Amino acid sequence: MKKNKAILITVLALLAIITGFTVFFWRIRARIPDNIFSFLDIGTYRVPPSFVEINSANAYYQSFVSNFDNLFIVSIFIPSQNLNSDKELIFSLKSSMDKSQDLVTLKWKFKDIHFKKNNFYIIPPDREETKEGFHFHFEFPPIKNSKNKEFYLYFESPDSKAGEGMRLGFWDNIDSYEGLAKGSLFRDNKPIRGFLAFRTYNTWQGNMKDAIKGIKGRLLLDKSFLIFYMVILLLVIVALLWVSIR
């Protein structure tokens, strides 16, 4: 009798766990990205020292060359500012300055632009919000053959007057920007010195061998990221050892 009761309790407990997990997954399914693998290609986690303003008088275009396939996220640093406005920031991704057809076009009202953290990525593209500002991410379907191809980021806000536009992070020293082998900044189609504080992210669409190859390629791209991930790995190992000892 006791044995049957124990079996029944175990079965009910398992059913409760399965049901709970199913309900939990159903509720969060919309928050899970299609591509849970994400790695940084171009950019830095340092805070940019300056900014430019996007408004009706000034639109900024940034070129770059992707180092990997499956480009699927571009982020831009948004300095701390008053974003309580219905004015729009228009983001476009093009394969050439001369092509009118955009690869990607996304429009966001200023008031809807805020820090968003997504913990579902295996390697998340997010960092904590700082007092200086945060990175805002524009996600789109992966561009499969993006490796070694040049792209242009367009940032516009045609309904914003000067002084009421969107401020974007700005760098003037290209030597300290990881992964940016080639790129130029334009203001209203005229090249200017410096570059926007943007980051690009790629994903993997293949087997685990492709994923490991992509990780290895990114780590070897610059020493700072190799050191960063080695430190993270060391901290994980130390944490596991500490838990096992306790």
Model pLDDT for residues 140-197, shown as the tens digit of each residue: 999 989 999 999 999 999 999 988 999 999 988 766 677 777 888 999 888 898 889 9
Model pLDDT for residues 38-55, shown as the tens digit of each residue: 788 888 888 898 999 999
Output the pLDDT for position 204: 76
Res. 25: pLDDT tops 50:
no
What number is the average pLDDT over the span 55-60? 92
Output the pLDDT for position 169: 94
Output the pLDDT for position 72: 92
Phi, psi of 106 (to 5 degrees): -130, 135
Report the 3 state secondary structure along 7-30: HHHHHHHHHHHHHHHHHHHHHHHH
Burial class for 3, CB neighbours closer than 10 Å (0-12, 13-18, 19+) = exposed
pLDDT bin (cut points 50, 70, 90) of residue 29 is very low
Cα separation, 207 vs 31, whole angstroms: 24
Cα separation, 156 vs 77, whole angstroms: 15
**Residue appearing with tokens 């029944």:** 8
Res. 90: pLDDT tops 50:
yes
Cα separation, 168 vs 127, whole angstroms: 17
Tell me the pTM: 0.69
Average pLDDT over the chain, rounded to an integer: 78
Q: How far is CA 245 from CA 58, 90, 233, 239, in A?
A: 59, 53, 19, 10
**Residue appearing with tokens 């061998």:** 209
CATH of domain 39-202: 2.60.120
Query: How is the chain split into domains, by residue range?
Result: 2-31, 39-202, 208-245
Output the pLDDT for position 24: 45
- Decide: helix, strand or coil at residue 99: coil
